[in-house]
């Protein structure tokens, strides 16, 4: 007799793939905690709770505190990496915002300035966190410079141009086909005059001591040019670039090591500290191996130069930290996904030559976030799978986490306007309300745990960042999404007790097709192409499947009273199409077929149906829903006995701008 451990919609929180997506279903039962603290432009700012905080022992809370402080100590690094003038501009914004009593902080000029400043703080710089486009300054330049003059502050001419000239450094990351990826991007991972060809030649000359276990070249450095024109790396370390911030990071990591829960945690932190001290990427690999094997303890973390989405060439990692507490009940219920990961690999529709014979070391936990820093905040991921080095994942495994309390905050703060406007029928809306949240969570679990752990690269083929170049991240996210979409309606999901029927899978198919074809378009401006990797991925998958099934009307585009809907007519055939596309994308990655990958992304993932886009914006506008959400962090407050910290309490601030200004005065080291 099988034990049914079906998870209802209000049960264990299972997180999403890397980034939130547009959803047409909401959580309905929550406490009276005030979730939203601010709303401006296209942003709403929320709070999240740490419900398991009081269940930790004082030593564990102190451990989490120092890990969180280590993360915040590196905040300036992310700002500077995002754009070379960000820190100078941020300090000018902070000065005006903190000038109460010196400046007249009234009137429309200041109101427009404050919205601009909030957008900059939310994005860790002057470019939008998602679209990568520079924010428009709606306040007057003369008013701004006069305010700075009153405060005795001088802003460089180029920084002024960065704020007020819309054409100057207009995009942080530009992956458009045919452009020089570096000259067209303002991100500060490269000196402004270094070309894509020069960077490619620089890394093509790198030789790994062990080609089967390559280090992550460029992960923790800026590519710069010396006075003689030669290109070199400025390594991020206590001995190199960002030394001031990194020494502060190390100081808190040392304190965290003293109160670690077990020897494995302490050993991993020792290696992380050595990596920060030296910048040696072999130390980074050693650390990741130790970290992925350390699964004991209640508190864990992500710390380092990690995700490469902000590098148009996919080499350099953005600084980020997430400190997390294990949700034991939810993790235990969902452990069945990781326990069955080999079954999923064996039964995948990809070619047998591209399957892993043995998927090792995969762990999955649902966690409660205690604090975030760098690229992980204010706009946070809601699911993470690390490490990124493919050979470490193959030989040593990976950790997948779902950020349960973040997901809870998203659902608690959402309304039902999207479902009412874009749901096709009463039946679809009822299915979404009953099963949609569970379907989304199951998709996320499969994406993170199975999707990112699946497949292998053929011998002799380079890493995806070398072979797929600027399309690597899009294709990887599409591949992981397709794994999840293929298996979410498999009988295995009921056999292992995660779903009692296929309705959650069907609800996810409805949501995914609608989101990929139209709903997510409200995140971009009229006339724009899609450039963000996750958005490209979703449109690629949805539009390819739509075209594949057009003759058989598998997914039907219906227009009723001028309103467009994408309606799934045959879920099993759609599943088959997802399997076909998964097989092809895995082949592309396994064989390093750049042209095929480029063709898929450019054909299906980039261009936008402008009439449909206009319709989505028109129908969304009356709902007054912010397309993007982010968070203020809880404040950890030390409890002292004499000079010693003996415990940590938590407060939940209500002031986004106040927290940003506090961070600016407390954690500014560059």
Residue 504 has pLDDT above 70, yes or no: yes
pLDDT tens for 283-319 read: 999 999 999 999 999 999 999 999 999 999 999 999 9
Neighbours of 32 (CB within 10 A): 4
Q: What is the pLDDT of residue 413?
A: 81
pLDDT tens for 452-486 read: 999 999 999 988 989 999 999 999 999 999 999 99
DSSP characters over 33-66: ---EEEEETTEEEE----TTGGGS-HHHHHHHHH
Q: What is the pLDDT of residue 17?
A: 38
Evaluate whether 310 touches 376 at the Cβ level (below 8 Å). Answer: no
Mean pLDDT of 81-106: 94
Neighbours of 416 (CB within 10 A): 16
Local structure of 124: helix, strand or coil: coil
Residue 229 burial (CB < 10 Å; 0-12/13-18/19+)?
exposed
Q: What is the pLDDT of residue 106?
A: 87
Query: For the chain, how far is it from start to end, CA to CA, in angstroms?
Result: 62
Residue 21 has pLDDT above 80, yes or no: no
Tokens, residue 86: 């960000």
Neighbours of 583 (CB within 10 A): 17
Neighbours of 527 (CB within 10 A): 9
Q: Model pTM?
A: 0.88
Q: Which residues pair with 302 in a beta bridge?
A: 322
Mean pLDDT of 240-253: 98
Neighbours of 178 (CB within 10 A): 6
Q: What is the pLDDT of residue 31?
A: 62
pLDDT tens for 519-529 read: 999 999 899 99
Residue 347 has pLDDT above 50, yes or no: yes
Which carries the bigger pLDDT value, residue 576 or residue 104? 576
Least confident of 22-31, 213-222, 457-466, 471-480: 22-31
Residue 24 has pLDDT above 70, yes or no: no
Report the number of secondary-structure helices (H) and strands (E) in the chain.
26, 14
Task: Cite the beta strand spans of 281-353 per DSSP E.
Answer: 299-305, 319-326
Tokens, residue 142: 């003369």
Buried b or exposed e, range 624-647, using 16+ CB within 10 angstroms: ebebbbbbbbbebeeeeeeeebeb
Q: Which residues pair with 321 in a beta bridge?
A: 303, 373
Q: What is the pLDDT of residue 367?
A: 93
Tokens, residue 190: 């490269």
Q: What is the pLDDT of residue 14?
A: 32
pLDDT tens for 572-604 read: 999 999 999 999 999 999 999 999 999 999 999
Q: What is the pLDDT of residue 20?
A: 55
Least confident of 13-17, 300-304, 561-565: 13-17
pLDDT tens for 49-78 read: 999 899 999 999 999 999 999 999 999 999
Q: What is the pLDDT of residue 560?
A: 96
């Amino acid at each position: 007799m099988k034990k049914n451990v079906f998870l209802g919609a209000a049960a264990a929180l299972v997180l999403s793939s890397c980034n939130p997506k547009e959803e047409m279903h909401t959580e309905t039962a929550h406490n009276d905690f005030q979730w939203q603290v601010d709303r401006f432009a296209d942003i709403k700012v929320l709070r999240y709770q740490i419900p398991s905080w009081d269940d930790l022992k004082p030593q564990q809370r102190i451990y989490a505190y120092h890990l969180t402080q280590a993360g915040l100590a590196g905040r300036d690094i992310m700002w500077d990496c995002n754009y070379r003038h960000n820190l100078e501009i941020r300090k000018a914004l902070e000065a005006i915002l903190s000038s109460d009593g010196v400046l007249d902080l009234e009137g429309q000029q200041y109101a427009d300035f404050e919205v601009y400043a909030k957008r900059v703080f939310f994005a860790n710089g002057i470019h939008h966190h998602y679209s990568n486009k520079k924010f428009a300054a709606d306040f007057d330049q003369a008013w701004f410079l006069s305010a700075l003059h009153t405060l005795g502050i001088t802003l460089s001419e180029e920084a002024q141009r960065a704020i007020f000239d819309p054409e100057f450094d207009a995009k942080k990351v530009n992956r458009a086909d045919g452009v020089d990826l570096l000259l067209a991007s303002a991100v500060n991972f490269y000196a402004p005059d270094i070309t894509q060809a020069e960077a490619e030649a620089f890394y093509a000359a790198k030789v790994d001591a062990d080609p089967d276990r390559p280090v992550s070249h460029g992960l923790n450095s800026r590519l710069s040019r010396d006075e003689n024109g030669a290109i070199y790396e400025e390594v991020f370390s206590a001995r190199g670039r960002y030394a001031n911030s990194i020494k502060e990071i190390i100081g808190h990591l040392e304190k965290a090591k003293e109160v670690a829960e077990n020897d494995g945690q302490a050993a991993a932190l020792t290696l992380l500290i050595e990596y920060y001290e030296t910048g040696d990427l072999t130390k980074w690999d050693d650390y990741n191996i130790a970290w992925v094997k350390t699964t004991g303890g209640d508190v864990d973390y992500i710390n380092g130069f990690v995700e490469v989405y902000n590098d148009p060439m996919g080499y350099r990692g953005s600084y980020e930290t997430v400190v997390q507490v294990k949700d034991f009940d939810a993790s235990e219920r969902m452990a069945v996904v990781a326990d069955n990961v080999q079954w999923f690999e064996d039964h995948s529709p990809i070619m047998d030559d591209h399957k892993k014979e043995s998927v090792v070391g995969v762990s999955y936990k649902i966690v409660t976030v205690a604090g975030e820093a760098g690229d992980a905040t204010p706009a946070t991921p809601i699911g993470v799978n690390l490490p990124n080095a493919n050979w470490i994942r193959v030989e040593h495994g990976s950790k997948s986490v779902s950020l349960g309390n973040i997901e809870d905050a998203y659902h608690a703060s959402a309304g039902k306007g999207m479902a009412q406007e874009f749901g096709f029928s009463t039946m679809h809306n009822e299915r979404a309300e009953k099963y949609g949240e569970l379907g989304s969570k199951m998709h996320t679990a499969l994406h993170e745990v199975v999707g990112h752990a699946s497949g292998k690269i053929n011998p002799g083929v380079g890493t995806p960042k070398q072979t797929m170049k600027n399309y690597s991240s899009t294709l990887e996210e599409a591949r992981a999404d397709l794994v999840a979409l293929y298996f979410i309606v498999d009988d295995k999901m009921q056999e292992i007790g995660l779903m009692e029927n296929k309705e959650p899978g069907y609800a996810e198919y409805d949501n995914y097709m609608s989101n990929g074809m139209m709903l997510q378009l409200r995140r971009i401006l009229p006339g724009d192409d899609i450039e963000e990797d996750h958005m490209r991925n979703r449109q690629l998958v949805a539009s390819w499947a739509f075209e594949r099934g057009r003759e058989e009307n598998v997914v039907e585009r219906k227009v009723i009273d001028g309103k467009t809907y994408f309606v799934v007519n045959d879920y099993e055939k759609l599943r088959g199409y997802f399997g076909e596309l998964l097989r092809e994308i895995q082949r592309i990655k396994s064989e390093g077929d750049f042209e095929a990958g480029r063709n898929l992304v450019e054909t299906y993932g980039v261009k936008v149906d402008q009439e449909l886009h206009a319709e989505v914006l028109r129908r969304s506008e009356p709902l007054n829903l912010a397309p993007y959400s982010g968070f203020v962090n809880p404040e950890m407050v030390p409890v002292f006995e004499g000079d010693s910290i003996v415990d940590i309490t938590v407060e939940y601030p209500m002031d986004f701008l106040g927290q940003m200004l506090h961070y600016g005065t407390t954690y500014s080291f560059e």
